[in-house]
């Protein structure tokens, strides 16, 4: 994604804002795709309304999201590049795993308090063997992904 240099002079007809330039550069790629802009609005507890206009563009490097935030104080525009979106997705996955783990622990405690034997399945040798096989397969898949990325 090449951005014009600050020293370049642009005509009054061409956009000079990085948001506009980047959106124009990424739209219309032969192997890319662009979702139409979607609008959502949020009202805070004080009654302040903020509208968000979101548009996603897919291109060779990944997805880029363009966000326009409009409120009583004016508007702000943001470009979220593929690396930022990947970070957001990793954090969403992490938070979902934490919630699942907490929920599972709570359910186990409730079952234990109700007198249900939660470890009965783990004492079955067939179940233990199947779980060990699954863990080894997942570990091998993780190693393969790391090697494909070139990591140690």
Number of continuous H segments (helices) and E segments (strands) in the chain: 3, 5
Residue 52: its pLDDT value, please?
96
In angstroms, the CA 24 to CA 19 distance is: 9
More confident: 65 or 150: 65
Report helix, strand or coil for 69.
Answer: strand
45-92 confidence digits (pLDDT tens): 999 999 999 999 998 888 999 999 999 999 999 999 999 999 999 999
Distances (CA, A) of 61 to 69, 85, 86, 150: 25, 12, 12, 18
Lowest mean pLDDT among 11-15, 35-39, 70-74, 124-128: 11-15
Phi, psi torsion values for 105, nearest 5 degrees: -65, -40
97-135 confidence digits (pLDDT tens): 999 999 999 998 998 899 888 777 778 889 889 999 999
More confident: 93 or 8: 93
Q: What is the pTM of this model?
A: 0.63
Q: Is the pLDDT assigned to residue 20 strictly greater than 60?
A: yes
Asked whether the beta carbons of 52 and 40 are under 8 A apart, the reply is yes
pLDDT category of residue 7 using cuts at 50, 70 and 90: very low
Asked whether the beta carbons of 72 and 48 are under 8 A apart, the reply is yes
Other residues' Cβ atoms within 10 Å of the Cβ of residue 22: 19
Q: Is the pLDDT assigned to residue 8 strictly greater than 90?
A: no
Residue 9: its pLDDT value, please?
62
In angstroms, the CA 132 to CA 139 distance is: 11
In angstroms, the CA 148 to CA 19 distance is: 34
Give the sign of the dihedral formed by CA 30, CA 33, CA 37, CA 42.
negative
Residue 11: its pLDDT value, please?
67
Tell which residue, 61, 70, 77, 58, has the closest CA to residue 20.
Answer: 77
DSSP 18-41: HHHHHHHHHTT-TT-EEPPPEEEE
């Amino acid at each position: 994604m090449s951005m014009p240099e600050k020293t370049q002079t642009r005509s009054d007809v061409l956009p000079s804002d990085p948001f506009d330039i980047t959106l124009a550069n990424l739209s219309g790629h032969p192997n890319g795709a662009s979702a139409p802009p979607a609008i959502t609005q949020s009202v805070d507890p004080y009654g302040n309304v903020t509208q968000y206009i979101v548009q996603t563009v897919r291109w060779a490097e990944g997805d880029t999201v363009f966000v326009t935030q409009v409120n009583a104080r004016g508007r702000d525009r943001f470009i979220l590049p593929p690396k930022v979106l990947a970070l957001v997705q990793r954090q969403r996955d992490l938070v979902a795993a934490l919630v699942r783990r907490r929920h599972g622990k709570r359910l186990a405690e409730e079952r234990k308090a109700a007198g249900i034997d939660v470890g009965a399945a783990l004492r079955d040798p067939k179940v233990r063997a199947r779980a060990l096989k699954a863990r080894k397969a997942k570990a091998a898949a993780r190693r393969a992904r790391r090697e494909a990325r070139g990591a140690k």
